[in-house]
Amino acid sequence: MTELHRLSPDARRALRSDLERRYHDFQARGLSLDMTRGKPCAEQLDLSVDMLTCVDANHYTAADGSDCRNYGGLDGIPEAKVLFAQYLEVAPEEVIIGGASSLNMMHDAILSAMVYGAAEGYEPWGRRQVKFLCPSPGYDRHFAICERLGIEMIPVEMGDDGPDMDAVERLAAADEGVVGIWCVPCYSNPTGIVYGDEVVDRLAAMPTAAPDFRIYWDNAYAVHHLTDNPTPLKNILTACKAASHPDRPLIFGSTSKVTFAGAGLAMMAGSVANTTRRKAEMSIQTIGPDKLNQLRHVRFLRDMDGIRAQMRKHAAILKPKFDAVDEILTRELAGKGVASWTKPKGGYFVSLDTLDGCAKEVIARAAKAGVRLTPAGSTYPYKRDPRDRNIRIAPSFPPLEDIVPAMELLAICVQLVSLERLMG
């Protein structure tokens, strides 16, 4: 395959004309495909239908004898704490089981730090201009929380094994205003990379100017592997304890993509000091989360082996979709020097980089032919992709027969826009 910028003017014109013909063919098909949302497909949700009825008139009592239908239990029924402590690789007393939304737990933890301080005796973040380090591309909803709370976001470049740690260390050490970092450490949203051991160790050990610096460790895809030999992620809490920063990480997880996206379990973990503080806040905020849904999860998933078996079923549905994305992008774009994309071993996204300054136009062009992609810039703080090149592809929800034309069209648009840029 020849890189497009090496093509002769004639070859460029011929290619462009061919691509335009294919593009118009797509337009004529009147497609209406949505590749924007990282949500499970119906077939995946079907994997958990037995969970709907496993708590019934004869099964509503938790291991400690408490009636899950009634009030009580702020931080989770015992069996849910045991199972999801294993899931997050912490001790049961280091985990809090919440409601259905881990985003809500993250939001509330940050808002609490803004209003009351991140730890006892520290100034609330809301009293000064605080900043978060934002490995980018990253998760738009993380960035939306910071933007809403007026937390200044400092983008940090993402590499193949995590954020640029030289930059992270420099920024955290230099500025007392830098109080946090967002991390999706396993199958990062959207690049799909897994943080390397050295990155984890450096995050745990680095000196920070802010004594109350926090790592928001959103381990959303902890068990969401597409391969049989997943890359293990180093335990951040253990690493932070070893580095004498036990209160640095706040770990989040959920079963939104294990059982039901709209009715999963959210969880949070951290040092006993951190969980104790959060529980004190939560005791003011609520009487407690839905324990019946906790019981449903434990009865349905049973144990870590049950969770792993469930995730293999998810992988069997998802892998062909991820494979299709890669096959089509490879067939259409490989060697042409106009795009690179990730080949994640888990998670929910493929991240594609175009030539600089092309992403917005590519996405607009695809939309005009009936394929919706996540808006350009979404994966960056303030929705500003400084190089206008990142496109997040979410293959989980659409059926395979939609993914194929959507990716073909995307590849056509990438080439068309790139050619136009190259031809001036």
Question: Using CB under 8 A as the criterion, which residues of the chain lie in contact with a copy of itself when the complex forms?
Answer: 37, 39-40, 42, 45, 48-50, 52-53, 55-57, 60, 67-73, 99-101, 103-104, 107-108, 111, 114-115, 126, 141, 144-145, 148-149, 256, 260-263, 281, 284-293
Buried b (16+ CB within 10 A) or exposed e, 124-141: ebbeeebbbbbbbbbbbe
Could you tell me the CA-to-CA distances from 340 to 39, 137, 378 in Å, in that order? 24, 14, 18
Nearest-approach distance from CB 81 to a copy of itself, in angstroms = 16
232: exposed, middle or buried (C-beta count within 10 Å: 0-12, 13-18, 19+)?
exposed
Tokens of 417: 């826009």
Quick one: 45 or 82, whose CB is closer to a copy of itself? 45
Quick one: 317 or 364, whose CB is closer to a copy of itself? 317
Q: What is the DSSP letter of 413?
A: H
Tokens of 69: 């239908």
Quick one: 31 or 116, whose CB is closer to a copy of itself? 116
Nearest-approach distance from CB 181 to a copy of itself, in angstroms = 19
Quick one: 86 or 101, whose CB is closer to a copy of itself? 101
Nearest-approach distance from CB 8 to a copy of itself, in angstroms = 48
Nearest-approach distance from CB 325 to a copy of itself, in angstroms = 21
CA 184 to chain centre: 6
Nearest-approach distance from CB 216 to a copy of itself, in angstroms = 15
Tokens of 289: 């989360």
Quick one: 52 or 334, whose CB is closer to a copy of itself? 52
Could you tell me the CA-to-CA distances from 49 to 44, 45, 108, 224, 263 in Å, in that order? 10, 7, 30, 19, 12
- In 286-335, where does DSSP find H-type helix? 291-301, 304-333
Contact between residue 34 and residue 397 where contact means Cβ atoms under 8 Å apart: yes
Quick one: 162 or 395, whose CB is closer to a copy of itself? 395
The span from the CA of 243 to the CA of 31, in Å, is 54
The span from the CA of 65 to the CA of 324, in Å, is 49
Nearest-approach distance from CB 384 to a copy of itself, in angstroms = 18
Quick one: 27 or 286, whose CB is closer to a copy of itself? 286
Nearest-approach distance from CB 373 to a copy of itself, in angstroms = 18
Quick one: 49 or 334, whose CB is closer to a copy of itself? 49
Q: Is residue 222 classed as helix, strand or coil in its secondary structure?
A: coil
**Cβ atoms within 10 Å of 268's Cβ, excluding its own:** 27
Nearest-approach distance from CB 301 to a copy of itself, in angstroms = 15
